[in-house]
Structure 1
Amino acid sequence: MIWHHTGWSNDGKIYNPVDGKACQEFDKRYPEFTNEPRNVRLGLAADGFNPFGNMNQSYSMWPIILTMYNTPPWLCMKESSFMLTLLIPDLKSPTKDIDVFLKPLVEELKMLLDEGVQMRDAATNTIFTMCATLLWTINDYPASSSLSGWSGQELKHNQDAMHVQTNVSKSFVGTLLKNENSKDTQKAREDLENWHIRDNLWLQKNNNKINQPHPNYSFKPIDRERLCEFIKGVKLPDGFGSNFKNKVLPNDSNIIWLKSHDYHILMQRLQPIGVRVVLPTNALTAIIDLCTFFKKICAWTLDVKDMYCLSSRKKVVPECTNELKALTHGPLNAFSYTACIVHGVRFVVYFRELRRTTQNSGGFTLGEDGTPFYGQLAKIIQLNYLSGYSVVLFHCKWFNTSGKRRSVEKNGIVAIDISREWYVGNAWYDGDLYILAAQVKQVFYIQDPSRNGNNWRVMEDVHN
């Protein structure tokens, strides 16, 4: 309950809301509340959904959930930590009437802030007065409009990044594939004409019939099929995302049955790569920047100094200080494996995943001189030493990206030529076949559809 009071970040990065400016400003403004670290800080999440959507029945269900930020990040976002305070059912959204439903909750929150309640601290077996405050709400734009009527100006409204990202990705993919989610509609074209914007996209009337013009960025049927074929062929690591192969229609004309996490993967990982085969160069930068924006704000860690840059490529230091004595005696034995888990990430050797629908063998690391190494895992070896110490080594087959035109980075997307896969002989990496497992960052490779041939792959990180 007092983690937020002791778990501050000291490296200039945001790991938890307690590291953000909003919480720090609150602490300065209300020092009496802050002086008692056991006081509770809450966030309110609200959104509506239709529980009978698959039955085509109009109905609205609004859960109002409180989450507590006193606990560390890995606990406060677990379902077991959520408090379902209200469940608002109705034939339509509560909109302006939501204050009627929220009034009992608001009254209780006021009481907890002004008066508090007597609580017993199980750790110290003492009685204290616990207060609570609602720091902000978490919702999408329609819910924010409904909630703003009762919350006042001081309460912050935070937009649910995942929800907004899902809507943007759904609209973008729908427009690319020209399905029911497309925003390129007759009404949208009429709005452009009414506002005198982009006259080359206005509707044209021929023989009293309205026809869509053929703008420069229109997508030909072959591009639509190629985009679906690209998405269908992607193999993701275990637990990272869905199998998109089963979500593309047999004729490669549409993508169906996508959930929020699917759109999350599409927006941040696949769209920046796939759009390069259906969009001209002058449109790519804007789309890739949009995808990169969502990738950064959804990252596990944000850099305070530069909110638009990920804090990646950290220097990895082998953890061998306490094991040095055992290491000097040499290994007692060694074992070889085909899979292992390192820091919660599952790695599988390359030959084992050939018949799998997922890929977990991709690896990336930086050399001492900053040279990027991209490769795939060939062997996993565990060396056991005295006193129960052990070291896990990865035998990696690095792609030969030295020389010109074998590695390209543009718009934040790294593409490599794997034509010299499993390069042997006088290999440029002969002295670096083995590497500590802790030094490898898992990546996966996606076929680059913007280049001719099958030798080019786009490298994607598993974690931001």
Structure 2
Amino acid sequence: MYNGFLPTYTNWHFHSERLNVKEASVLEEPQQDNSLNEDFTTDLLNDVFPNLAPNFDDEAGPSNHAPNAEENVDQAPISDERRVFDELSSDAHEELYEGCTSFSKLSFMLKLYHIKCITKISDKGMSMIIDLLNEAFKHAKFPASLHDLKKTVRKLGLQYESIHACPNDCMLFWGEDSGRETCKICETSRWKMKGNEAENEEVSEKKKKNKKQAAKVLRYFPLKPRLQRLFMSSKTVESMKWHALAENKDGKLRHPRDGQAWKTFDQKFPVFASDARNVRLGLATDGFNPYGAMSTNYSIWPVLLFPYNLPPWMAMKHSSMILSMIIPGKQMPGNDLDVYLQPLIKELKELWATGVQTIDASTKKTFCMLAALMWTISDFPGLGNLSGWNTYTDLACPSCNYDSAQLRLHHGKKNCFMGHRRFLQPDHKFRYDKKHFDGKEELRLPPVTPSGSTIMEQQESVDVVLGKNADGTKKKRDEGTQWRKKSIFFELPYWKHSLLRHNLDVMHIEKNVFDNVVFTLLGEKRRSKDNLNARKDLHYLGIRSELWPDANGKYLPASFKLTNQEKDIFLSILKSARIPDGYSSNISKCIDVKQRKILGLKSHDSHVIMGHLLPIALRSVLSPDVTSVIAELCHFFRDICSKVIDVSELLSLQKRIVLVLCHLEMLFPPSFFTVMVHLIVHLTEEVKFGGPVQFRWMYPVERKFKDELSRANMRGRKRRHPLNIDREVHLHFEKWLRQKVERNEIANDDIRLIANGPSDKVLKFSSYNINGYKYRTLERDGDLKTQNCGVYISAETISYASSRDTNPRAGDVPYYGKLIDIIQLNYYDKFRVILFKCKWADTRDNRGYKRDIFGHHMVNFSRTIHSGAYEEDEPFVLASQAKMVYYVEDPSESGWSIGVHITPRDLYEMGESDVSDDPPENIDINDSIVNDRLLLSDEIPNFRLVRDTMEDDDDDDV
């Protein structure tokens, strides 16, 4: 039914795709697409064996031809490849059974195995299915067993290697050590030993040789054939050149290629940069529990690679990730991670020095492909494991290196990372303010991020033997040593020249900052950073005497602590927020209003709350001074996570976050400033080097592992004169257009169809997907936990300054609505138009629309427009013009809701279209970095450190 029931049916590839009137208006007879019935295995085999394909051109440059003495050596593998190709081709052209045209023998096996993989059918279950098929259909050529099925799939390549490892992570039994029986460091056997065998040293040699099982096995997936496959496949070869062929017209950061690290690498290594097909990679790793049970103390460590040659909409997709290895458990390798990275580093060195001959499917020629590793991606402890930097000391920040601000809290027994005034301008007032900070003046300059060469020099004297003790316990290290090992990545010749080697993960930083803020505001006893020890540390440091505890351990509540009533309001706003499908999990399940607790929030839930909901929820319960500081912190994370970033705005963004951190130091106790809070100050620099954070954070990795998922204020009364003009246009346009058509003054067929009007029968929908959004009507949304009925458009409207104004001005006015109905107009099966009927809030004056001091867009749907019976009251808009918002009710102002703007997750604005889809600048709701409007100033704030006594608070310490 792809081509429909009627010859006039318009072919739609996707539900609710954008309408191209020009193309859809041409009536063409549908042609039978024979390619849909062709066996896909032909293209598959041509991609896997391009040098054996009929159209392969064996011409290549001089570097691609082996010397004559080696030609005979290469003939054997080519012969084996030809044999495999012939076997698979034979299966591809063999009918599954006599007369079968839907499947060949090969295509059925591949689809059957694909079903096993995506549905996670066990080997035993699949074996039973194959046995049943063979028993029921004896005439069909099904695989005889699961073993035969896997054997056929292996012929398509991309195998993996099993490399034995020392049970104590000391070494790999590979290369020259592949024949060893015991570890050369701890002398532990590479084989699993039963309990009685381990105790009895006189076990017979014969028994030892019976089916030995390795104690620990590294699964390594060779990189070269996987990179080659990207160029051998006709579906990905052109995308692998995107980074060089696609033009960046406005110079904004949208991809790692736009960052300074990429450009500096190209300047340093022009030969590598000269061929767009040379591959840039990112490496990510994280612990993962394969059993999905948090109570099970077992984890494995997959290592993934990302090919950054691909465009933004492909680079971080699961289908583009390359699994490099699976490091076995059950405990994390920790500092011994370098032991397992040896095969990958060896292959990366070869890919840099000599490359590998690869076939380009677009040209049908071979070329020498090189590859380079750009950086690593991991959480903060993982950064320490990869780099060797000790992230658990008072010098934990790798960017500050040895120039970090060191402070160990006397009572809290934790490291504190304050001192952010050093990032201010040298003459800033805050530098000389002792009272509101740590009691000292700050005269130091910002620390300089160490270069790769500097780090190599620091690691020169480090001499560490990797691995654990023979009994499996960790080796005791010198706690005074900041570098715990020489990083294996410096074996790569280019690594020391990279501007960005190990990324700070914005995902985990934002999650930790969110926890610090929210649990401190709620006064969570176990997780709050404002407790008795924190107050004692204030006394110990001699600062903020108003907050010191008395002799009995009692202390006054800080200005940021919420009362029980305020907690109820704050949590109820978060719990009642209904967010569109696909943007977060059900946050309300994590909010317990009765116990006044937040439980089980995932990192992405915190990201959603931090980006939009937290400032909205706090504006009703905290003083404007405190709310402004936290709101600016939220704005920073929202801006730094933008998909498109203007380089010229990064300096302003850095100044903002330094100012925010300084205000936080004046507001929160020193215990608040963990290393994760401090790392915020370095995120802007990393964006400058590496591009948008979407290519350098852990969200895609964790989703793969765990299968997760405006300023304008046009005021004024209704003007009779302009409305009458609009009314005349509405009333007489159809008649005027019909007369034009009848007089043959308009020859365009599309205009003729529009003049005749649509069919008198329409289709109505309760939900619709368009522009990357999923819309639902208000009625259908009513009983759901999500909200998909919010609609926003920006429309150009003529405005008059007064009734005597003869020079009206056109400006963009924001319109906020709720979707009531979805209608499809049919213009004689030539094309269709989707209309949204909405209930619109009156945004013409402050009775229906306003902005609060924090910049939130507030609408009141008790004040509506376009609800009358006149032509000018038409409530419809084109669906293609709509953008989605969701509304959060404001309990402090009855009837008012805050509109939160969102962008589709998979939408990438590449700056290519002449007409921008972004809202006008004067509305200030786009997804890029916001303007320089700052809620904080450079002046010393007049914070109230202590709030009024909270009589309803049941905290015993207060």
Name the TM-score class by shorter chain: 0.7 to 0.9
The letter of the residue matching 1:199 is: S
CA contact (8 A) 1:52 1:58 kept: no
Q: Could you tell me how far 1:58 is from its partner in structure 2?
A: 5.6
Provide the C-alpha distance between the structure 2 equivalents of 1:161 and 1:327, rounded to a whole number of angstroms: 52
Q: Could you tell me how far 1:462 is from its partner in structure 2?
A: 2.1
What's 1:37 paired with?
Answer: 276
- TM-score of the pair, normalised by structure 1: 0.87
Provide the C-alpha distance between the structure 2 equivalents of 1:55 and 1:367, rounded to a whole number of angstroms: 51
Provide the C-alpha distance between the structure 1 equivalents of 2:300 and 2:548, rounded to a whole number of angstroms: 40
What's 1:199 paired with?
Answer: 545
CA contact (8 A) 1:336 1:382 kept: yes
Name the CA shift for 1:397/1:53 in 2 (closer, same or farther; >3 Å): closer
Provide the C-alpha distance between the structure 1 equivalents of 2:259 and 2:874, rounded to a whole number of angstroms: 41
What's 1:226 paired with?
Answer: 569
The letter of the residue matching 1:217 is: F
Q: Could you tell me how far 1:445 is from its partner in structure 2?
A: 0.3
The letter of the residue matching 2:612 is: R
Provide the C-alpha distance between the structure 1 equivalents of 2:352 and 2:554, rounded to a whole number of angstroms: 61
The DSSP-based 3-state class of the residue aligned with 2:557 is coil
Asked whether 1:287 is paired with 2:630, we answer yes
The letter of the residue matching 1:159 is: L
Asked whether 1:124 is paired with 2:363, we answer yes
Provide the C-alpha distance between the structure 1 equivalents of 2:341 and 2:547, rounded to a whole number of angstroms: 46
Q: Which one of 234, 237, 241 corresponds to residue 584 of structure 2?
A: 241
What's 1:141 paired with?
Answer: 380
1:209-224 matches, within 5 Å, as 210-224=553-567
What's 1:115 paired with?
Answer: 354
Aligned pair count reads 448
CA contact (8 A) 2:284 2:304 kept: yes
Range that drifts further, 345-354 or 88-97: 88-97
The letter of the residue matching 1:280 is: S
CA contact (8 A) 2:840 2:861 kept: no
CA contact (8 A) 1:96 1:146 kept: yes
What's 1:318 paired with?
Answer: none
CA contact (8 A) 1:200 1:215 kept: no
1:382-461 matches, within 5 Å, as 382-385=824-827, 388-404=830-846, 406-421=849-864, 424-425=867-868, 430=872, 433-449=875-891, 451-453=892-894, 455-461=895-901
Provide the C-alpha distance between the structure 1 equivalents of 2:268 and 2:628, rounded to a whole number of angstroms: 42
What's 1:269 paired with?
Answer: 612
Q: Which one of 160, 171, 176 corresponds to residue 521 of structure 2?
A: 176
Amino-acid identity (%): 37
Asked whether 1:352 is paired with 2:780, we answer yes
Provide the C-alpha distance between the structure 2 equivalents of 1:424 and 1:436, rounded to a whole number of angstroms: 17
Q: Which one of 10, 16, 25 corresponds to residue 255 of structure 2?
A: 16
Provide the C-alpha distance between the structure 1 equivalents of 2:291 and 2:348, rounded to a whole number of angstroms: 32
Deviations 1:108-164 (A, max 9, x none): 212111111111122222111111001112223332233223245534122222222
Deviations 1:343-390 (A, max 9, x none): 221111222222222211111111211211111122222223367322
Deviations 1:259-282 (A, max 9, x none): 122111111121111112332111
Provide the C-alpha distance between the structure 2 equivalents of 1:74 and 1:431, rounded to a whole number of angstroms: 40
CA contact (8 A) 1:225 1:252 kept: no
Deviations 1:393-438 (A, max 9, x none): 22222101322354124323222223214663499x9456222212
Provide the C-alpha distance between the structure 2 equivalents of 1:381 and 1:390, rounded to a whole number of angstroms: 10
CA contact (8 A) 1:326 1:386 kept: no
Q: Could you tell me how far 1:54 is from its partner in structure 2?
A: 5.5
1:60-79 matches, within 5 Å, as 61-79=300-318
What's 1:339 paired with?
Answer: 767
Q: Could you tell me how far 1:92 is from its partner in structure 2?
A: 5.6
Name the CA shift for 1:433/1:53 in 2 (closer, same or farther; >3 Å): closer
Name the CA shift for 1:99/1:154 in 2 (closer, same or farther; >3 Å): farther
Range that drifts further, 71-80 or 82-91: 82-91
The letter of the residue matching 1:424 is: S
CA contact (8 A) 1:204 1:213 kept: no
Q: Could you tell me how far 1:105 is from its partner in structure 2?
A: 1.9
Name the CA shift for 1:430/1:202 in 2 (closer, same or farther; >3 Å): farther
Name the CA shift for 1:181/1:335 in 2 (closer, same or farther; >3 Å): same
The DSSP-based 3-state class of the residue aligned with 2:338 is helix
Q: Could you tell me how far 1:233 is from its partner in structure 2?
A: 0.9
Provide the C-alpha distance between the structure 2 equivalents of 1:383 and 1:196, rounded to a whole number of angstroms: 73
The DSSP-based 3-state class of the residue aligned with 1:347 is strand
The letter of the residue matching 2:516 is: S
Provide the C-alpha distance between the structure 2 equivalents of 1:88 and 1:212, rounded to a whole number of angstroms: 50
Deviations 1:86-113 (A, max 9, x none): 3344566544433333233222212111
The letter of the residue matching 2:530 is: D
Q: Which one of 475, 495, 505 corresponds to residue 160 of structure 1?
A: 505
1:52-67 matches, within 5 Å, as 56=295, 61-67=300-306
The letter of the residue matching 1:338 is: S
Provide the C-alpha distance between the structure 1 equivalents of 2:784 and 2:527, rounded to a whole number of angstroms: 32
1:254-333 matches, within 5 Å, as 254-307=597-650, 325-330=749-754, 331-333=757-759
Provide the C-alpha distance between the structure 1 equivalents of 2:625 and 2:294, rounded to a whole number of angstroms: 43
CA radius of gyration, larger in: 2
Q: Could you tell me how far 1:341 is from its partner in structure 2?
A: 0.8
Range that drifts further, 164-173 or 363-372: 164-173
The letter of the residue matching 1:336 is: K
Name the CA shift for 1:189/1:418 in 2 (closer, same or farther; >3 Å): same
What's 2:813 paired with?
Answer: 371
Q: Could you tell me how far 1:7 is from its partner in structure 2?
A: 2.4
The letter of the residue matching 1:161 is: V
Range that drifts further, 285-294 or 235-244: 235-244
The DSSP-based 3-state class of the residue aligned with 2:877 is strand
Name the CA shift for 1:391/1:188 in 2 (closer, same or farther; >3 Å): same
- Can you give the 5+ residue segments of structure 2 that lack an aligned partner in the other structure? 1-239, 389-486, 491-495, 654-691, 693-709, 712-746, 797-810, 904-926, 928-958
Name the CA shift for 1:60/1:238 in 2 (closer, same or farther; >3 Å): closer
Name the CA shift for 1:438/1:304 in 2 (closer, same or farther; >3 Å): farther
- Structure with bigger RCO (C-alpha 8 Å, 6+ apart): 2
Provide the C-alpha distance between the structure 2 equivalents of 1:52 and 1:185, rounded to a whole number of angstroms: 37
- Can you give the 5+ residue segments of structure 1 that lack an aligned partner in the other structure? 314-322
Asked whether 1:101 is paired with 2:325, we answer no
The letter of the residue matching 2:338 is: D
The DSSP-based 3-state class of the residue aligned with 2:372 is strand
Name the CA shift for 1:398/1:329 in 2 (closer, same or farther; >3 Å): same
Range that drifts further, 387-396 or 115-124: 387-396
CA contact (8 A) 1:12 1:305 kept: no
Provide the C-alpha distance between the structure 2 equivalents of 1:305 and 1:272, rounded to a whole number of angstroms: 26
Deviations 1:322-346 (A, max 9, x none): x964143224424332221112211
Provide the C-alpha distance between the structure 2 equivalents of 1:401 and 1:411, rounded to a whole number of angstroms: 18
Provide the C-alpha distance between the structure 1 equivalents of 2:269 and 2:343, rounded to a whole number of angstroms: 25
Provide the C-alpha distance between the structure 2 equivalents of 1:242 and 1:437, rounded to a whole number of angstroms: 26
CA contact (8 A) 1:346 1:360 kept: yes
